[in-house]
Structure 1
């Protein structure tokens, strides 16, 4: 049988593609990835793939609706469109509407226009929660009626009420009704950021703190240039004459502060806060207008300004849309833990697997059966990286190739044998260890994290009580890993060595085989790995897709990971020193 041709959207470093191709029944023909370093990694590891950059610019069909170019014979579409949750709790963030959520619709556009035989969509497990939503826009209404979705009314706080509130509300409602572009009324983001920081200092009890901040060399240069040269030109237009007067007064007050002349703080602070809040509100209503979101009202509520809009749940919309397109999918079981499919990591993801009705050869869409049922059975961190313990990683990202001259895989670990598919180790590179970090590493035992450190070692963190318990986690050989994100930013510590885990070790925790090479800066490589779908999980999903379509994989994952070791009841418990000595302590 000819291999099924695949298009991988939001492909990243290629974990999903790798798992699919490992079955021997899929060939990735087209991939789409916008990140430059991830694209380089993808190209390095996947030959003969047409790699596109921007999904929003892709045209799959001609004006008659016929598939064109490389999209004509795509059988399967896979990918993980970014999807960001929203809640009133994060309304203080700069953006109201995540452009990422619109990429979910781009994924669905590909399905709708190409009509592949099957699809796989991978995402964060919280995607089904109410926080993941689309805001109703002008083009949604007819489709939502067709899909039987009733959008819900929402009241979202977009800023604090100020002395401008009534006039600002009137101006913004008129702007929305008349389709007025709001950018001429907004200051640039750099200035907004400086003023926001300035306000934080102004709210402190002493004027000394404010003067100290504004007279820092870089800040002083910035404000002298901004205030003296073109303060009044920071807005192309002013939405209100009182606001314009306050802006002029703020410029004079800043000029005095730059010159070292402190003044009565309360009036300055009030005007600064009013202006910042007005800018936040204008910015967020501008987002509403630019994204064609339907705005039903702007209201004054106690101390806040609220907008009234409508929203609908992303996951519910996806399911209704795909069903309407003629696909059946796994409606009941869609959260999968990578550890149950051999990955030495607990990583739960939402994965939808859909088959076009005319291509379904099973009674229902098949989901992969877990190979390992309980935490005791899961592969451990030692299975993934134990054989690399005494191979010292480099710190220079360019020195990313080490020969395995005297290295041997772990005895009795099918996962380790699977990962060791190359006579070289690529990307065994770690972050450089500074003095404070080394002291932290040395004081942590397996399983401990930042919160277990002595208080004297927490001083570089402003509010260490808010630090996540995955930061400075010393991994425990005898446990599966937590979800791998960016192991460099998390400062994950090797189980037995006083150093950060290497890029290759992070890749192995994600089940990337040693032949898979990562490109880009050190931080980029760690990030690519953290963003990826573990290839072993992808392979399990791919096998289930094949089974749903009446096709068998060349070699099943079960055979690779559940070989004679398990049948002999060999314990998964790891006793590191004994095993290392057994191997000659390479």
Structure 2
């Protein structure tokens, strides 16, 4: 099966597709640094660095193989954390139309769209219904489901909607959860090096004294850890961190350390959250802005630690300035979740 990804970001969804045996031939991403990361890690894929609105054709040899078009149109307007842009007036909420336009250009056998759960209820389901209507008009049979990445071997609670459409009249049956227990933050980070606030280290040795089955899976025979980049926080921020236990958040910080907030009692519950070793992570989104805290060290997460919590293997290298790497990791589709979708899709390839 041939794959084409649009709105690719650094390539988490493509990594899942390739792990399932799909030959991803083309990826489209307009962000320079995300595209560079994609190109670095997917050398056999042609990466087009351009705005999707400028793409007028997709040139590739499809032969007799089935084709899947996939991707996640930018979701800021659909996010439950973005209350200002949840309306029909926000042009970013209409980028799914570009996905539909690409579908018309290619007419793939399969379409897979990933997005935030908020798409379900935005404008009382208007945008979700528009996607269904547009795909139905093109002749596709559409199914959707909200999946939680933690159910598919990712050490993170991250709910996302997946829309899967078939040009051949197939009602896609989503993969079921077969896990007996969840992967925890401790499982994910156990063998990674101890770091300091603001540390920037390209390659470091593993902590070989502590391993889990998950960490062994993520190593992929890498000999050293890359992307050990931690944002530099002020002494005040670090002081706040010291008061927060595993699983705690800003509510554990003494009032006198929060005096710069106009009303700190109204802080979002996800701010200053220290992860717990014994549980899966909360959503790895903009983890620098939200100031997610390492479970045992008084600092923010490194790029590699966040990547582990997203199920990116250690041989996947992120490029660009640290803030760009953090954004790439936070926005990406967890590769193991994507793999579960594409593994199921491959079961239909001979139908």
Tell whether the structures are fold-level matches, with TM greater than 0.5: yes
> Where do 1:206-245 residues align within 5 Å?
none
Provide closer, same or farther for how the CA distance between residues 71 and 531 of structure 1 changes in structure 2, counting only shifts above 3 A: farther
- Does residue 500 (structure 1) correspond to residue 269 (structure 2)? The answer is no
Provide closer, same or farther for how the CA distance between residues 347 and 57 of structure 1 changes in structure 2, counting only shifts above 3 A: same
CA distance in 1, matches of 2:16, 2:89: 33
1:342 to 143, 153, 160: 153
CA distance in 2, matches of 1:327, 1:469: 40
- Does residue 42 (structure 1) correspond to residue 38 (structure 2)? The answer is yes
CA distance in 1, matches of 2:250, 2:257: 9
Secondary structure of 1:319's aligned partner = helix
Aligned to 1:452: 252
Aligned to 1:378: 182
Secondary structure of 2:271's aligned partner = coil
For each residue in 1:357-402, what CA deviation from the matched residue of structure 2 results, as whole angstroms up to 9, or x when unmatched? 16x4xxx3121111226xxx211111111222x53368354x3222
- Does residue 314 (structure 1) correspond to residue 127 (structure 2)? The answer is yes
CA distance in 2, matches of 1:22, 1:325: 29
Q: Contact (CA 8 Å) 1:353, 1:545: kept in 2 or not?
A: no
Secondary structure of 1:69's aligned partner = coil
TM-score (norm 2): 0.91
CA distance in 2, matches of 1:317, 1:353: 15
- Does residue 418 (structure 1) correspond to residue 220 (structure 2)? The answer is no
Aligned to 1:366: 173
Secondary structure of 1:7's aligned partner = strand
- Does residue 30 (structure 1) correspond to residue 26 (structure 2)? The answer is yes
Q: 1:428 offset after TM fit, Å? A: 1.3
Aligned to 2:71: 79
CA distance in 2, matches of 1:439, 1:354: 50
CA distance in 1, matches of 2:137, 2:227: 45
Aligned to 1:302: none
- Does residue 443 (structure 1) correspond to residue 243 (structure 2)? The answer is yes
Secondary structure of 1:352's aligned partner = strand
Range with greater deviation from structure 2 (431-440 or 501-510): 431-440
Aligned to 1:535: 335
Secondary structure of 1:30's aligned partner = strand
Q: Contact (CA 8 Å) 1:328, 1:356: kept in 2 or not?
A: yes
CA distance in 2, matches of 1:120, 1:470: 30
- Does residue 70 (structure 1) correspond to residue 66 (structure 2)? The answer is no
Secondary structure of 1:40's aligned partner = helix
For each residue in 1:222-248, what CA deviation from the matched residue of structure 2 results, as whole angstroms up to 9, or x when unmatched? xxxxxxxxxxxxxxxxxxxxxxxxxxx
For each residue in 1:479-499, what CA deviation from the matched residue of structure 2 results, as whole angstroms up to 9, or x when unmatched? 111111121111111111112
Q: 1:550 offset after TM fit, Å? A: 4.0
Aligned to 1:306: none
Q: 1:324 offset after TM fit, Å? A: 2.5
Secondary structure of 1:387's aligned partner = coil
Provide closer, same or farther for how the CA distance between residues 71 and 10 of structure 1 changes in structure 2, counting only shifts above 3 A: farther
2:166 to 338, 355, 379: 355
> Where do 1:471-550 residues align within 5 Å?
471-550=271-350
CA distance in 1, matches of 2:213, 2:142: 32
Range with greater deviation from structure 2 (341-350 or 432-441): 432-441
Q: Contact (CA 8 Å) 1:394, 1:400: kept in 2 or not?
A: no
CA distance in 1, matches of 2:296, 2:70: 38
Secondary structure of 1:120's aligned partner = strand
Q: 1:449 offset after TM fit, Å? A: 0.7
CA distance in 1, matches of 2:227, 2:305: 9
Provide closer, same or farther for how the CA distance between residues 117 and 86 of structure 1 changes in structure 2, counting only shifts above 3 A: closer
1:407 to 202, 205, 208: 208
For each residue in 1:314-354, what CA deviation from the matched residue of structure 2 results, as whole angstroms up to 9, or x when unmatched? 111211221232222324xx100000000001000000112
Aligned to 2:8: 11
* Count of residues in correspondence between the two structures: 344
Larger Rg: 1
Q: Contact (CA 8 Å) 1:342, 1:379: kept in 2 or not?
A: yes
Give unmatched runs, 5+ long, in structure 1: 61-67, 134-312, 552-586
Provide closer, same or farther for how the CA distance between residues 31 and 431 of structure 1 changes in structure 2, counting only shifts above 3 A: same
CA distance in 1, matches of 2:317, 2:278: 27
CA distance in 1, matches of 2:269, 2:79: 24
